[in-house]
Structure 1
Amino acid sequence: MRQLHTTQRLACHTPHVAPCVRFLARRSHAARSSSNGFRSSVVATVEPSGPTGGPHEIKTQLLSELEGLDRGIFGVPAAKKARILALIAELEKHNTQTAPTANLETVAGDWRLLYSTITITGAKRTKLGLREFVRLGEFTQHIDIANNLAVNRIEFSVSGLSAIRGSLTIRANYQVVSEQRVGITYLDSALTPAGLQKIFEANLDLLLSIFNPEGHLDITYLDLDSDLDLEAEGAASGCWRVGRDNKGNVFLLARPRKH
C-alpha cells in the first residue's frame, strides 16, 4: 500500500411534520351587531409541531428521510435537508450521555456513516469523476481508543473495462478537549489499489480536502447498548452517534448493538 501524505493542514426548522390545526372560534365585536346578537367568525390557524416519540421513533423517521440519499454526499434538496436536521436536533434532545469522552469505551469500535452535511457537488464532483464512472461505497469509521486513533475509510468502485474496487483510508489522532469534544489531528492517508491512485492522482489534494477530519468534533448524541429497544430491528435498533465539527458539518453514524 503506497502511503499518501499531505503537508497541508486542512482545517481538518423547517421540519416535515403533520401540521397541528387549531380552530379558534371567536365572536367578532368588530362586526356590526344586529338585533339577533353577534355575528360569529371562525379563524383557522396552522401551527407546526415537532417530531414526536422517543429515540427509536425519531430514528425510524430519519431512516425514512435518508432513503436513497447516498448519505447526502451529493447534496440534498433544501426542504428535505431541513427535515433531516430537525430530526437530528430532536434526537439530540434525548441524549443521556452528557460526558461521552469520560468513557470512550462507549464510542470504540466500527461505525457506519448514515448521513453527513459534507457534500461533493458541481465542479468538484466532475473533477473526481463521480458523475459517471466512479461510484462511492460505504463510509466507515474505526475508533481505536487504545491508540487514540480514528480511521476513516471511504470505498470506491470504478466501472468500465478495467473495473476497480478500492478505498481511501485516512488516519487521525484525537485528544480529549472537554466532556463532549475531541481535538482531531490528521496523520496520513492511503489510496489503494494502484489503479485507484492513478484515477485520483491529479485531484488527490481535492479529495483529501473534502474528507480531512482535522479540527475538533463534539459528540452531541450517543446511545448506550443498555438503552436500546431490544425488540427493534434493522439500523434503528443499533447504537447511533451524532457529531458536529468546527466547520459546521453534522455526522450521523450507527453501529450494531453489542450482544
Structure 2
Amino acid sequence: MRKIKEYLSIIIIRDAGPRHSFRVHRRCFYAVLSFFFVLPLLAGIVLFYSWKLWYENNQLRENMFRLESDLQTAQLTADRLENLQELLHKDRVSNLIGRGIVNALPNTGNELVRDSENAQSAADGSSGKPFGQEEFSPVSAEYLKVDNVRVWALRDGKLRLSLDLHNTDSQKVLSGTVRAALVTADGERQPLSFVPDDVGDFKISRFKRAVMVAVLPERVRMTNAQAIIEVRTVENALAFRNIFAVER
C-alpha cells in the first residue's frame, strides 16, 4: 500500500490583496517553529557571554595600568636607593680618610677646627642673617613642586646637586632648566656651571629625579657655604628658588 505524504500549508493573506500559500512538510514546519521559540533564549545567552567578556576585558585593562604604575614607582624607588647607597659609600670613605689624616696630623686637625670655629663665630656675629641672603627671597610656583634637594661638595673640586621635580599639572608638559649659584661665608655669590652644560634642562609630564655635577671655582672656601637653586621655565619665568646648605 502506498504511503501518502502529509504536507501543511501556510497561507498569507494581505488586506484587500492577493493570497499566498506555501506547502511545507510537517517536520520542516515544526523545526522552523521550534527555532523561533528557541531564538530569544539563544540571543540572551550570547548577550550574557558578551557582557561577561567585556567586563573581564575592563578588569584586565585596569590591572595592567595598575601594574605599570607600580613598576614606575618601583623604578623610581630603586633609583633613589641607588643614589642613597652611593652617597653613603662616599660619606663612609670620606670619614675614614678624614679620621686618618686628623689622627696622623693632630696639629693640623686642631688648626682646621679652629678655623671652622672662627668662621662660625664671624657668621654668628653678623646682623642675624647668613651672608649673601640679604636680598634673597624664596619662590615656589603652584605648577611645580621641588623637594628632596641635597647639595654636597665632592673631593675633586666639584659640587653635586640632586632634587625631585614634580609637575602638578598632568595635562601639560613642563619644560625648563635648573640653575645654581654658590654663596660663600663672606657673602660672595658665584654662578655654577654644570657638566655637561645641558644636564640641568628638563622636560617632564609628571616626575623627574635630577642629579647634576657642577665645577667649583678655584680656591673657594666651602666653610658655611650655601647654594641657591633656581628653576626657570622655557619662557624664563621663575618657578622655584631657595637656598640650601652645602654638605661636606
TM-score in terms of structure 2 length = 0.27
* Larger helix fraction of residues: 2
TM-score in terms of structure 1 length = 0.26
Q: Whose relative contact order is higher, 1 or 2, with alpha carbons under 8 Å and at least 6 apart?
A: 1
Q: Which structure has the bigger radius of gyration?
A: 2
